[in-house]
A and B are shown apart, each in its own frame.
Chain A
């Protein structure tokens, strides 16, 4: 068991290195730093001096992998690869274009991101499972049919419309909560409530339908027939037998996203002006701040890998077949 987890952990390392290499290739080999400088400074009428200055400011003036001018360890260390990629493993992300320390910015922005993402995750999972249970309880009736139709309709609406429509209706017409913004502490609640409700609503269609199929598939298993043959009621069969088995794939499937909750949601944060990591990423994309995007890619991947690890652990905790063998 422990050996298994250690093995998984060791397996995560090459993946992280792979991510790092891919990002590096994407940012420094597809385009040279000169290209980026020219693009940032405006393609036409840019002097070589301006390019050199731009590169020097960001530390892009070093060689990519091997510094022939340096000596000793510096041959490896004084390169873009070491500076920009290897240092990420030590959570040193360097500075953004506006000069701020990226690592500091990230720690500050994690809070607001979590304040939205955690309630969305918990509430979303709960409502989707409940809704799916309701549909399954009334399976093969008109209620079930109507529910599925509703799910398909809801998942056919772009998330953008949920946000735009929700903001327009709740904030602009009803004036219930501020349209966007954020505050520290408990007063954050009034800014958070709308984005949370909208996110949950936007996600419920597809996840409830997905959970419903998992439940129904579980219903076709032989042990369900056995439970009925014992004389158990339908409700008992659903809640004690089907739910317990179906929750294993549902919950372990949900675990993988838990670490990535730190990253926040790009759209929601951008629309609602929440100063989290999502809006940080969006701003960086719009400002073409490569350093920040690179840092976010690395962190996102690392968190996803942690998520995979948590999934493995949760499986061993929840499923007796894996726990005991």
Chain B
């Protein structure tokens, strides 16, 4: 008897049906990952299990058996004992998921009181999730904790009722990779120690590879593939699964010289679409006539591996080697003359205190950054949130006045904006287009009278879209429009600030391909700001790694990603969950310090496994380990 068995579950919200006939089982002590892109119904499935659907939502059919109980038949009062008792749940946003005006201890005690009848184990629970100094932390309010700490506190809270199943809804999506690695370790450790099952909801194949025993792949409200981890990663059966793998920029890691990712055309169908037949049929490259007519049956693909597809695929032919399109070789010759040079760039924000609001200190968001961007090349600026990488981009562009340092365009010193030379592509495809303007107005904003039709075609959009408004477009299309707007003024440099991090993997690949194409045809240079190592590997020529306002390591992609010398770079790379399931054992502890009060000496020394006395005293100078690679570490050699 499985711990949890879900049969044919369907959920409706108003007229929409975000979950449609989902069935799966979870055994005791096992981790099932529900994998899928945004809007596929995975979070709704989790909320349905807890019977916490949003207003207007209800379970329209199906059964949820937990241990021996049918959760759908319980009264609300009985269900309350299950929630937080046998079934614990944690959410994506630790920042908003805790009550801001109650101490963390109080919030855990509340759950303990209800489920265990006493509240003595608060400290023990906090210690169990690896929170240092739990007595003090229990008395703190959520805003006093870092994101990682808050997520640990959430886990401690969910553990209060000693749950047999923990539902974790995108538990690390809002966290940086080094923190994500810590939290995933906590979850996995708890699972082993307590024999607790985990239902992990995620969109991240890397996290799945790191955590899951079983995998359920969802698409548009339905499960399309169920498999054990090894089988899924070795031979995904559903065309959607295979395309997802091919779209991953990480896959290019093993395929030198491939610059074009396989993409899935179109985007995830919006909620409310009426389907007949296979829901993936419209985007499937192997579509058969029957796919449009009939809902495919479940098919055995391997041992315990089932796929919902009309097509019979044998395991060995399942993943096409990456590089479905034409290939282009990475230019590895010596970098040409720098187009854009940044020297000693500093951006400090004053912290004002006291009666007269005098600056008592500075947030050193950017603290002495040197960069050189050659024409036609891509420089990736990599770092975790708060390291100052976005501020570097804005300062170079002229949106943010630098405190010190200068920016040169070839030999000419730049002051303020240079819209004809540099443009920016922003992260949020929904915030970057004015909802009150038509596409043609948006694209022509920088250059009135621009040939909108031609520019739209350049980014593979149809000219007929020019008269429509942004809300009619999907995230990927919006990002193309944002790129078109930047291209309209014919800049030579594009500063891309996390342009794909808000997009689904399948759409991300489209945008990355577009950027690569534009670089080839227009000779653009990119300053690519990102935290996603996979994207860096795919797109960049050179990499600079930033930590707390400074660049700690730079070099070519091969040097930095394959032979990192700085302990931070090593830890960062190790923390990225890899889809081959391999783990490196370089771990980094703790949270990044605040840029208003950076540690003396090397900024990284409090978290560095190799720190010695000298690291505490002086900031390490840049050490050249090759003609292109420099590292700010005393132990670079």
Contact = CB atoms under 8 A, between A and B. Distances in A.
Chains A and B directly touch (beta carbon < 8 Å):
yes
Interface of A: 3, 6-7, 10, 140, 221-223, 225-233, 240-241, 244-245, 248, 319-321, 324-325
Given A3-B355, A244-B101, A225 B141 contact: no
Contacts of B88: 229
16 contacts: A222-B91, A222-B96, A226-B154, A226-B157, A228-B52, A229-B83, A229-B84, A229-B88, A229-B89, A230-B161, A231-B84, A231-B161, A232-B110, A241-B99, A245-B99, A321-B143
Nearest to B114: A231
Nearest to B82: A231
B111 interface: yes
A160 to B, nearest CB: 40
A114 B82 CA distance: 53
A320 B102 CA distance: 8
A171 B141 CA distance: 54
B100 A223 contact: yes
Interface string B81-101: 111110011010100111111
B52 A10 contact: no
B104 to A, nearest CB: 11
Interface in B104-157: 110-111, 114-115, 141, 143-144, 154, 157
Given A222-B91, A231-B80, A319 B101 contact: yes
B357 interface: yes
B271 to A, nearest CB: 19
A225 B144 contact: no
Contacts of B336: none
A222 B114 contact: no
A31 to B, nearest CB: 40
B154 A324 contact: no
Nearest to A219: B55
A231 B160 CA distance: 11
A320 B114 contact: no
Contacts of B141: 320-321, 324
Contacts, number: 88
B78 to A, nearest CB: 10
A233 B353 CA distance: 43
A226 to B, nearest CB: 5
A3 B354 contact: yes
B595 to A, nearest CB: 17
A7 B358 CA distance: 12
A193 B281 CA distance: 74
Nearest to B106: A240
Nearest to A228: B52
Given A240-B110, A244-B102, A231 B85 contact: yes
Contact of B80 (A6, A140, A225, A233): A233
A58 to B, nearest CB: 41
Nearest to A231: B84
A191 B91 CA distance: 57
Nearest to A318: B101
Given A231-B82, A233-B80, A223 B97 contact: yes
B561 interface: no
Nearest to A229: B89
A311 B38 CA distance: 43
A5 to B, nearest CB: 9
B114 A6 contact: no
B52 to A, nearest CB: 6
> Which of B98, B99, B110, B115: most chain A CB closer than 10 A?
B99
What is the interface of chain A mostly: helix, strand, loop, or mixed? helix
B507 interface: no
B50 interface: yes
Contacts of B144: 324
B55 A6 contact: no
Given A223-B98, A223-B100, A245-B99, 9 more contacts: A7-B357, A225-B52, A225-B91, A226-B99, A229-B83, A229-B89, A230-B161, A231-B114, A232-B84
B113 to A, nearest CB: 10
A221 B96 contact: yes
A110 B161 CA distance: 57
Interface string B30-71: 000000000000000000001010010000000000000000
Contacts of A233: 77, 80
Given A240-B110, A241-B99, A230 B357 contact: no
The residue in A230, A245, A320 that gathers the most chain B C-beta atoms within 10 A of its C-beta is A230
B22 to A, nearest CB: 20
A231 B111 CA distance: 8
Contacts of A222: 91, 93, 96-97
Contacts of A325: 143
A233 B115 CA distance: 12
A245 B141 CA distance: 13
Nearest to B354: A3
A216 to B, nearest CB: 11
A229 B52 contact: yes
B101 A248 contact: yes
The 7 closest A-B CB pairs, nearest first, are: A231-B84, A230-B84, A231-B83, A222-B96, A230-B111, A223-B99, A229-B89
Contacts of A240: 110
B115 A231 contact: yes
A139 to B, nearest CB: 9
Contacts of A6: 355
B85 to A, nearest CB: 6
Nearest to B80: A231
Contacts of A225: 52, 91, 97
Interface in B609-626: none
Interface in B157-199: 157-158, 160-161
Nearest to B79: A231
A245 B144 CA distance: 17
Given A230-B111, A231-B111, A244-B101, A223 B354 contact: no
A213 to B, nearest CB: 16
A223 B96 contact: yes
A30 B355 CA distance: 37
Contacts of A221: 96
- Select the residue from B55, B98, B101, B356 with max chain A CB neighbours within 10 A: B101
